[in-house]
């Protein structure tokens, strides 16, 4: 199985900050990488698919990059509604595993 590792596990930032979250795969997954946002008590929401494609309706301050084993999710200017937990997911091969999550908290 492909293991997905996110860093950091948690992060404190302020409104307006630029934030980057990293996801590393245990083997090359080309660009088969998705990012989700989850708020407490809610289902995950798809933000980015295929490593860098923005899902419809997602604000342009979110962006994704990377290929192979190393990927990043960047939020260019944090907004109050962005404080949540973020997960990466590989869709290269089943089982379609997720990273352990990165909790983004208000500083």
List interacting residues with another protein (CB under 8 A). Answer: 1, 31-32, 34, 36, 38, 43-46, 49-50, 53, 55, 87, 89, 91, 94-101
Q: Is the Cβ of residue 20 or residue 52 nearer to another protein in the bound state?
A: 52
Is there a contact between 38 and 18 (Cβ–Cβ < 8 Å)?
Answer: no
Token pair listed for 68: 């192979």
Neighbours of 35 (CB within 10 A): 28
Residue 34 vs 71, nearer CB to another protein: 34
* Residue for token pair 């492909």: 2
Q: Which is nearer to another protein, 17 or 44 (CB)?
A: 44
């Amino acid at each position: 199985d492909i293991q997905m590792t996110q860093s950091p596990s948690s992060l404190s930032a302020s409104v307006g900050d630029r934030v980057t979250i990293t996801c590393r795969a245990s083997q090359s997954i080309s660009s088969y990488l998705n990012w989700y946002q989850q708020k407490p008590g809610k289902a995950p929401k798809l933000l980015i698919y295929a490593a860098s494609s923005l899902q419809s309706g997602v604000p342009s301050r979110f962006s994704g990059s990377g290929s192979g084993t190393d990927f990043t999710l960047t939020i260019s200017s944090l907004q109050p509604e962005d404080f949540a937990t973020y997960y990466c997911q590989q869709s290269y091969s089943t089982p379609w595993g997720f990273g352990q999550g990165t909790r983004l908290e208000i500083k």
